[in-house]
């Protein structure tokens, strides 16, 4: 005889999924409200960071695009510069630039 009480774990999984989506959307909306408030108070760079965080949380392409456009408006930079520098650029600087002297290697050679 089959037991038909397997629906409880499925309902719990669906409820968890819905709750997670609601929490993420609420967090993104919190970032948007905080960004608008910070920009109104004159903290433009803090607002830009919050717009970037909100854009990363949205799954909707339209909402994420809106957040990124706000970030670009505040920062006057293209979106591709929003993330951290790749390891190759972080170690040597921008392409075409000579890297600065490494103080540890100068001390070892002296």
Q: What is the pLDDT of residues 56-68, one digit of tens each?
A: 998 889 999 999 9
Into how many domains does the chain fold?
1
Angle at 49 between CA 65 and CA 51, to 5 degrees: 30
Q: Using H for helix, E for strand and C for coil, what is the string for 68-86?
A: HHHHHHHHCCCHHHCCCCC
Q: Is residue 77 part of a domain?
A: yes
Q: Is residue 53 part of a domain?
A: yes
User: Is the model's pTM score more than 0.75?
Assistant: no
Q: Is residue 96 part of a domain?
A: no
Q: What is the pLDDT of residues 3-31, one digit of tens each?
A: 666 666 766 677 777 777 888 889 999 99
Domain that holds residue 11: 7-82
């Amino acid at each position: 005889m089959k037991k038909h009480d397997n629906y409880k774990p499925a309902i719990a999984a669906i409820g968890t999924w819905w709750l997670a989506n609601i929490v993420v959307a609420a967090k993104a909306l919190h970032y948007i409200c905080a960004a608008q408030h910070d920009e109104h108070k004159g903290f433009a760079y803090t607002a830009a960071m919050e717009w970037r965080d909100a854009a990363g949380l949205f799954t909707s392409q339209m909402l994420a695009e809106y957040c990124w456009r706000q970030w670009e408006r505040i920062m006057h930079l293209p979106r591709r510069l929003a993330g951290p520098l790749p390891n190759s650029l972080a170690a040597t600087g921008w392409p075409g630039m000579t890297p600065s002297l490494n103080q540890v290697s100068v001390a070892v050679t002296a």
